[in-house]
Amino acid sequence: MNQATHSPTLDDNAPSELQSIIADSVERLFDEQVTPQVLASFDAGHTATALWQQVLEQGLPGALMAEEAGGSGASWLEISPVLRAIGYWSAPLPLSETMLASLLLSRAGLEVPDDPITLIQIGRLGDLSLSADGHLKGRAFNVPWARSSRWAVVANDAGQLALVDLRQSTVSLEAGSNFAGEERDILHFTNTRISAIGPLQIADVQEPVWLFGALIRACMLVGALESSLDKAVGYANERAQFGKVIGKFQAIQQQLAQMAGAIGAARMATQVALRSACEVLQAEAGDISSLAFDVAVAKVCAGEAATLATAIAHQVHGAIGFTHEHTLHFTTRRLWSWRDEFGSDSQWAEVLGQAAIAAGGKGFWAGLTQRQF
């Protein structure tokens, strides 16, 4: 209504051509291949090896790597449809981890192996340490897809990134899983020699695996959240009781609208964080970045939305959504798992809260508008 001067920056988040191509191909692949049968088979203990082959053929694991390093040179925004699709279709693959590991390895000037790669942040989840002469000692737990991964990328907070071969006698593994049955294993390193090490400098990023890990989980959560909403709206429009579809009842509408609001917030927060992630990779050493703030906001919003959405999606589905036969649980079990991983919403909220309290009433608004307290 207001007559406004057009600003060229208004629509700068319109998807690039590469983003649309990536979205089309990954969505087609997962829609065809990640069937309820594949997911049930995964739940029964069979890894989705055929699916991984197809993902490899599309070049997805290396999508974030520079073209010189053998990747697609896509930006975080451009690969975001892949992360969303992993969540939307519950793809049971070490894909987001391998994508991030490949990016970090190539940034550190290290060779990127072809097999699945997992991620460990020293100082989080265990007592692992990296010695000056390149040996790993100690334990790391909740390591995603360790059994399926030949390699692990290990980051410390001193700006170093190491690659370690997990198939050696000094590494032992105890199998574990998250609520969705995805591998979350314990790795024991007894003076394990690393294969390579390099400096990893990303402006203003202290814990690269932890921070980007939270970003990829937030994006996957958004995909799973959208799936839970589509399933709940679809079911509400189809299930009839008292002579009409239940989606006509205000009680159902109100819940789904509230769920959509929380999901809209999570989606916005991840979009902003993805944009920051693009910028931070272009930034010079010493530049200030809002990435840590934006990722914290995204993981809090996505985690909170997961809590609300799982409850509402199940409530709307009634008893059928509680069965193994129905597909809702593939989504909700992942929501309950991923909201915990790479820092739960309360852990990230605590980081934000401490910074906000330090900024105080006087500094809060300035911090919010700069997206950094």
Partner 1 sequence: MQALDIRPCRLDAKTEALRAEVREFVAEALKDFPAHERAKNWNGADPEFSRKLGERGWLGMTWPKRYGGHERSALERYVVLEELLAAGAPVNAHWIAERQSGPLLMKFSPEVLAPRLMPAIARGELLFCIGMSEPNVGSDLASVQTRASKTEGGWLVNGSKVWTTGAHRCHYMVTLLRTGPKDESNRHAGLSQLLIDMHAPGVTVRPIYNMLGEHDFNEVFLDDVFVPDDFVIGQPGDGWKQVGAELALERSGPERYLSSTQLYLEMLDEANPQNSRHSVSLGRVAARYAVLRQMSLGVAGMLARGDNPAVPAALVKDQGALLEQSLPDLAHDLFGGTRQAGSRLDQVMRYLTQTAPSFSLRGGTREILRGIIAKGLGLR
Binding to partner 1, residues 14-73 (CB under 8 A): 14
Number of other CB atoms surrounding residue 358 within 10 Å: 10
Torsion, CA 284, CA 285, CA 286, CA 288, rounded to 10 = 50
Which own/partner pairs from 242-250 qualify as long-range (CB within 8 Å, at least 24 positions apart)? 246/316
In the complex, what is the shortest distance from the CB of residue 173 to partner 1, in angstroms, rounded to a whole number? 33
**CB closer to partner 1 out of 322 and 365:** 365
In the complex, what is the shortest distance from the CB of residue 117 to partner 1, in angstroms, rounded to a whole number? 30
Sheet holding 160-165, edge to edge: 117-121, 151-155, 160-165, 196-199
Map the footprint of partner 1 across residues 229-248, applying CB under 8 A: 229-230, 233, 236-237, 247-248
In the complex, what is the shortest distance from the CB of residue 30 to partner 1, in angstroms, rounded to a whole number? 17
**CB closer to partner 1 out of 109 and 363:** 363
Decide: is 2 part of the binding site for partner 1 (CB under 8 A). Answer: yes
In the complex, what is the shortest distance from the CB of residue 247 to partner 1, in angstroms, rounded to a whole number? 4
Which own/partner pairs from 188-192 qualify as long-range (CB within 8 Å, at least 24 positions apart)? 188/138, 188/139, 189/128, 189/136, 189/137, 189/138, 189/139, 189/140, 189/164, 190/137, 191/135, 191/136, 191/137, 192/135, 192/136, 192/137, 192/164, 192/168
Q: Which of 157, 62, 66, 161 shows the shortest CA–CA distance to 110?
A: 161
Count of residues interacting with partner 1 (CB under 8 A): 72
Q: Which of 261, 318, 320, 323 binds partner 1 (CB under 8 A)?
A: 261
Decide: is 12 part of the binding site for partner 1 (CB under 8 A). Answer: yes
Map the footprint of partner 1 across residues 174-203, applying CB under 8 A: none
Map the footprint of partner 1 across residues 210-229, applying CB under 8 A: 226, 229
**CB closer to partner 1 out of 266 and 281:** 266
In the complex, what is the shortest distance from the CB of residue 301 to partner 1, in angstroms, rounded to a whole number? 5
Mask: binding to partner 1, 270-289, rule CB under 8 A, as x and -? -xx--x--------------
In the complex, what is the shortest distance from the CB of residue 111 to partner 1, in angstroms, rounded to a whole number? 36
CA distance 169 to 186: 15
Alpha helices in the chain (DSSP H): 17-33, 36-43, 49-57, 76-89, 95-107, 208-236, 250-282, 291-317, 328-338, 345-370
CA distance 295 to 351: 11
**CB closer to partner 1 out of 7 and 37:** 7
Map the footprint of partner 1 across residues 287-306, applying CB under 8 A: 293-294, 296-297, 300-301, 304
Map the footprint of partner 1 across residues 339-368, applying CB under 8 A: 345-346, 348-362, 364-366, 368
Cβ(218)–Cβ(96) below 8 Å = no
In the complex, what is the shortest distance from the CB of residue 59 to partner 1, in angstroms, rounded to a whole number? 28
- Region from 16-24, 102-110, 193-201, 266-274 binding partner 1, contact rule CB under 8 A: 266-274
In the numeric block, the tokens 């699709």 are attached to 85
